[in-house]
A and B are shown apart, each in its own frame.
Chain A
Amino acid sequence: MAGSSEAQIDLTPAMNLEPVPLLDWLIVMPVAWCIVVGTILLMMRKNTAQQHLVAIPAMGVQVLITAALLSQIIINGPTTMVMGRWLPPFGIAFTVDILGAVLAFTAAVVALACTIYGIKDVNGSGRRYGFYSFLFLLMAGVSGAFLTGDIFNLYVWFEVLLIASFGLLILGSEKGQLDGATKYAFLNLVATTLFLIATAYLYGIFGTLNMADIALKIAQSDGTLPLNTVAGLFVLAFVMKAAAFPVNFWLPASYHTPRVVVSALFAGLLTKVGVYAILRIYTMLFSLQREALEPTVNIDALSFAVAIVACLTMLLGAIGALAQTNIRRLLGFLVISGIGVMLMGVAIGTEAALGGTIFYAVHSILVMTALYIAAGMAAKLCGGAEDMTKIRGIYQKNTLLAAITLMLFFAVAGLPPFSGFWPKLMLVKASIEGAPWWAPFSILLTGFLSTIAVGRVWALSYWKPEDDDNETQDDANAKSPIGVSDFVPLIGLTIIVVVVGVFPQSVFELAYQSAEQLVNPVAYIESVFGSEVVE
């Protein structure tokens, strides 16, 4: 019936018949580029000596693409591109606002650092089994999650990054890796399945999967729909991905088992995708169905629960860090502690608090990756030991590494003038204004406990000189096991951490603008449906 003779059918209500502007292609480029490069690297998996020669420039291009996308979004506001020309809500839409673009850019920077650090950290067998391919597929999943405007598509990107992370996690097949990966895999599978269940219910209620469409329909709903249940399911799924307190146990079980570069990448990216998803789904979509719990405390019951979870998560992270001797496990608990700080901003939900959360997410991506890299270098200096009691005298062996690590420790504990200070300041200020007393108290207590935890590591493993009976090892310093390809990514990330700490103004503004767009997503919806839909 629908042959070419019936060309008079009017397709304009359902399809975008104009050619897509060239700049809009930037929106899908980060994902498409990563998949293409990942495939090419898979084809050259036996050329282990050449893989990084392709991977590093390709990841550099990824940084440039996301930087161009970010600058476009800052100039033009949120932008949408639809797949297959189907107009939303029929087709899958990629909608990018400042939050997504900032996080995609930061993720690309961190991935570039890990690609460079991987030169020495990943041996021939790791490359033959596809380290660089998995890295690019992971980046495709992470970028896709940050850029998509369709909730089922978000689920698909979660699965893409999850399966790539499985591959990275078991690369090497050590006993510890298999143990950690088993726990990581099952618990994350349950988390994404919960996400899928929540998505199914949301579709059952509204009959659409486009985030902008859902935001509009939630705004128009009359309050009789079971939205709190669905929001609760989404929050449970995402806090599990983000490793918040009652559902955090996969993270300390697995993050210290794989290669250092894989740990660094995971610590930077994976949990922050969970936080991003909470911001996007819970804060942006479900923001209009809230009733305040008490008139004095301006947050609703679900946000109150998130606030309690946030407090417990940050305290558990800090106390867990205090109890560890393995440095990478200690850092895993600091990742969890940072997740708690970010969730506190989500629970308060004001623009200032959300700005703090977004700033903290950027800070945490950079600092946690740099810290894992630094811990890996310290371990290399001490013959592969990762135990706080076995790593000794790093300051003696390599003063530069010890100095950089001290800066990163200050940053992760939230001390000025490094990047961790400003988002914590924003969050403490916002929580004094909009939350019960225990919210700012626990943020400050967490900062104090983390300072003790990292300060002890620095004092014992870095500052304290090596025991005298090991004098013979000094000869080995002539050929240091760490080289330029280890220091370049570490110094690069540390420079960003210091610059953001000393000149926080531009990141402040970006974080506030992202938070404004989240709290009032008019521009986001307009970019999907055009300005006439929003009254």
Chain B
Amino acid sequence: MEAWMAVVVGALFAVSIYLMLSKHIIRILIGAAILGNAVNLLIFTNGRLTREVPPIIGVDESVLSAQAANPLPQALVLTAIVIAFSFFAFLLVLGYRAYQELGSDNTDEMRVAEPVDDQTPPLGY
């Protein structure tokens, strides 16, 4: 099960990196969303994948049984989902606003901050 999840996570990473190599903001955005999900699945897989053992501590025990899923990575994933979601919302608005203001979603054409025809500094006093 974990091996298959590793393959899925790897595929998601590959897709997101491919998309983020694009020059278009919209593709980078989709890549960032997939990247967040890939990382969440990676953390989730780190905490063992099982459905059979309920995470209940018995009367005479003090820890979960070794086969039960680890709840901590799930808590980490929840935190990471919230953060990734808010970041993605911000990036969507930023990307759209940049498209409105700069008239392009191609990062090569977004050269307001770093103009192409930049002067070289004066060489003499």
**Residues of A participating in the B interface, judged by any CB pair closer than 8 Å:** 1, 152, 156, 159, 163, 166, 170, 173, 175-183, 185-186, 189-190, 193, 196-197, 200-201, 203-204, 207, 252-254, 256-257, 322-325, 387-389, 456, 459-460, 464
A372 to B90, CA, bound (A): 27
- The dominant DSSP class at the B interface is helix
Pairwise interchain contact A189-B97, C-beta atoms closer than 8 A: no
Q: With a 10 A CB-CB cut-off, give which of B83, B101, B107 has the most chain A CB atoms.
A: B83
Residues of B within 8 A of A181 (CB): 94, 98
* In the complex with contacts A152-B76, A460-B125, A186-B32 CB distance below 8 A: yes
Cβ A178 vs Cβ B76 within 8 A: no
Can you list 20 pairs linking A and B with CB atoms under 8 Å apart?
A1-B59, A159-B83, A166-B94, A175-B101, A178-B102, A180-B113, A182-B95, A182-B107, A183-B107, A183-B110, A185-B90, A190-B32, A196-B43, A200-B42, A200-B76, A203-B43, A253-B114, A323-B120, A325-B121, A389-B122
Query: Across the interface, which residues of A come within 8 angstroms of B113, CB to CB?
Result: 176-177, 179-180, 183, 253-254, 256-257
**Bound complex: CA A253 to CA B98 (Å):** 15
B46 adjacent to A325 (CB under 8 Å): no
Tell whether, in the assembled complex, residue B32 and residue A178 are in contact, meaning their CB atoms are under 8 Å apart: no
Q: Which of B40-81 contact A (CB under 8 A)?
A: 42-43, 46, 59, 70, 72-73, 76, 79-80
Having A176-B113, A186-B32, one finds 14 other A-B pairs with CB under 8 Å, namely A166-B94, A177-B113, A179-B98, A179-B110, A181-B98, A183-B110, A185-B90, A186-B20, A196-B80, A203-B72, A323-B120, A325-B118, A325-B122, A460-B125
The reply to whether B120 and A173 contact each other, CB–CB distance below 8 Å, is no
Are B121 and A163 touching (Cβ within 8 A)? Answer: no
Shortest distance in angstroms between A463's beta carbon and chain B's nearest beta carbon?
9
Q: Find chain B residues with CB under 8 A from A182 CB.
A: 25, 94-95, 98, 107, 110
- For the complex, is B87 an interface residue (Cβ under 8 Å from A)? yes
In the complex, residue of chain A having the shortest beta-carbon distance to the beta carbon of B87: A189
Contact A323 B121 (CB under 8 A): yes
B112 lies within 8 A of chain A by Cβ: yes
Pick from B46, B79, B98, B122: contact of A460, CB under 8 Å:
B122
Q: Find the A residue at minimum CB distance from B93.
A: A170
**Closest chain A residue, CB of each to CB of B103:** A175
Q: Are B121 and A178 in contact (CB-based, < 8 A)?
A: no
| Docked CA distance A226–B42 (Å) | 17
Which of A178, A322, A388 has a CB less than 8 Å from the CB of B94? A178
| Alpha-carbon distance between A181 and B79 when the two chains are bound, in angstroms | 24
Determine whether the beta carbon of B125 is less than 8 Å from that of A464: yes
Residues of B bordering A, CB below 8 Å? 20, 25, 28, 32, 35-36, 39, 42-43, 46, 59, 70, 72-73, 76, 79-80, 83, 86-87, 90-91, 94-95, 97-98, 101-102, 107, 110-114, 118-122, 125
How many Å from the CB of A201 to the closest CB on chain B?
8
A residues less than 8 Å from B20 (CB atoms): 186, 190
Of all chain A residues, the one with the shortest Cβ separation from B62 is A13
| Smallest beta-carbon distance A5→chain B, Å | 15
Q: In the bound complex, what is the Cα–Cα distance between A257 and B101 (angstroms)?
A: 15
Known: A182-B95, A200-B39. A163 touches B90 (CB 8 A): yes
Complex partner residue of B121 from A203, A253, A456, CB under 8 angstroms = A456
Per a CB cutoff under 8 Å, which of B32, B107, B111 touches A189?
B32
In the complex where A166-B90, A323-B121, A324-B121 touch, is A175 in contact with B97 (Cβ < 8 A)?
no
B112 to chain A, nearest CB (A): 4
Question: In the complex, what's the smallest C-beta–C-beta distance from B54 to chain A, in angstroms?
Answer: 15
Q: A182-B95, A200-B39 are in contact. Are A388 and B122 (CB under 8 A)?
A: yes
Inter-subunit contact B42/A178 (CB<8 Å): no
For B112, the chain A residues whose CB sits under 8 A away are 175-176, 178-179
Interface centre among B76, B98, B102, by most A CB within 10 Å? B98
Nearest-neighbour CB distance to chain A for B122, whole angstroms, equals 6
Assembly CA distance A1 to B59 (angstroms): 9
Residues of A within 8 A of B118 (CB): 325
CA gap between A175 and B113 in the complex, in Å: 8
Known: A156-B83, A179-B102, A323-B120. A193 touches B107 (CB 8 A): no
Q: Is the CB of A163 within 8 A of B39?
A: no
Looking at A181, A201, A322, which has the most chain B CB atoms within 10 Å of its CB? A181
Contact in complex: B114, A203 (CB < 8 Å) = no
Query: Which residue of the partner chain B has the closest CB to A9?
Result: B62
Q: Smallest CB-CB separation from B114: which chain A residue?
A: A253
B48 to chain A, nearest CB (A): 10
Bound Cα distance A183, B20 (Å): 12
CB distance from B109 to the nearest CB of A (A): 10
CB neighbours of A159 from chain B (8 A):
83, 87
**A residues less than 8 Å from B42 (CB atoms):** 197, 200
Contact indicator B102/A186 (Cβ below 8 Å): no
Cα(A47)–Cα(B82), bound, Å: 31
B79 touches A200 (CB 8 A): no
Residues of A within 8 A of B72 (CB): 203
Give min CB distance, A262 to chain B, whole Å: 14
Q: Are B39 and A196 in contact (CB under 8 A)?
A: yes
Chain B residues in 8 Å Cβ range of A197: 39, 42
Partner among B35, B70, B97, B98 whose Cβ is within 8 Å of the Cβ of A193: B35
Query: In the complex, A95 Cα to B95 Cα: how many Å?
Result: 38
Lowest 8 CB-CB distances: which A-B pairs, in order?
A: A204-B46, A180-B113, A179-B113, A200-B43, A179-B112, A178-B98, A176-B113, A175-B112
Q: Taking the nearest CB of chain B, how far is it from the CB of A387, in angstroms?
A: 8
Among B101, B120, B125, point to the contact of A459 (Cβ < 8 A).
B125
Using Cβ atoms and an 8 Å threshold, which residues of chain A touch B28? Answer: 186
User: Complex Cα distance A464/B39, Å?
Assistant: 55
Residues of B within 8 A of A200 (CB): 39, 42-43, 46, 73, 76
Q: In the complex, what residues of A have CB within 8 A of residue B121's CB? A: 322-325, 388-389, 456
B91 to chain A: closest residue by CB:
A185
A186–B42 alpha-carbon span in the complex (Å): 21
Which chain B residues lie closer than 8 Å to A460 at the CB level? 122, 125
